[in-house]
Amino acid sequence: MGNALFLDMALTGRDHSIILPYCPDKKCKTTSGFALVDVVSGKVHKLNVQFGDSFGNTWTFLKSSVHFNYLQAISVRAGDFNLDGYPDLVTTLTMTKKSSSEDETRSVLFKNVPCRGNCEYPRTFEPNFYVLDTYSNVISTAFFDSNENGLLDIIGLRRTSKIGPNETFSMFVAENSPEYDAYFVRGFITSGICEKNCPPYGVKSN
């Protein structure tokens, strides 16, 4: 079981849901999943999330073997990446290549979408394995508005050396594309309020 994440997945106006990433086996080698816990009712819903890509590969949560305690737990971050109002997720997944025994790790974006078919909950998460596929050996990722333009970018930490006691790491930022139907506008304005000897522009506070 990974770190718990509190969010309003279905935009009900209540932050009463807990998202729990989990693996059925200790090493996270077979499959992975998300469970949603309704704090009010106490019900646990298994979300219908597919961890297979278009090439038939099955991805699982990353339980890193590097020598840092904070990387031993499964961590998932939430943010509205596509500005539709619903919280999306980003995390790191791993996959063992069929052609070799090497593991590939990658940041994966999970879009919050309506659930179709046999669903325990009206919404689910749909993974996009390719939006961040240019970054390999990723250890950890999170949402971050690096340009301060109202669009959440993705910041990550990747390993730049072989696994071992002298590992080296580097950070990267994947900028979010602004090609959406909603935009963020920020402005700075002065109030014009003054107490005495006000110019024509000023507005008296009383």
Q: Could you write out the DSSP letters of every residue in 41-52? A: T--EEE-----B
Q: What is the pLDDT of residues 32-79, one digit of tens each?
A: 889 898 888 888 998 988 888 888 888 888 765 555 555 667 889 999
Bridge-based pairing state of the strands 169-174 and 153-159 = antiparallel
Predicted confidence (pLDDT) at residue 135 exceeds the cutoff of 80: yes
**DSSP letter at 87?**
P
Bridge partners of 105, per DSSP, are 94
Which of 178 and 173 is assigned the larger pLDDT?
173
Classify 117 as helix, strand or coil. coil
For 69, phi then psi, to 5°, come to -60, -35
The per-residue pLDDT of the chain, averaged, comes to 80
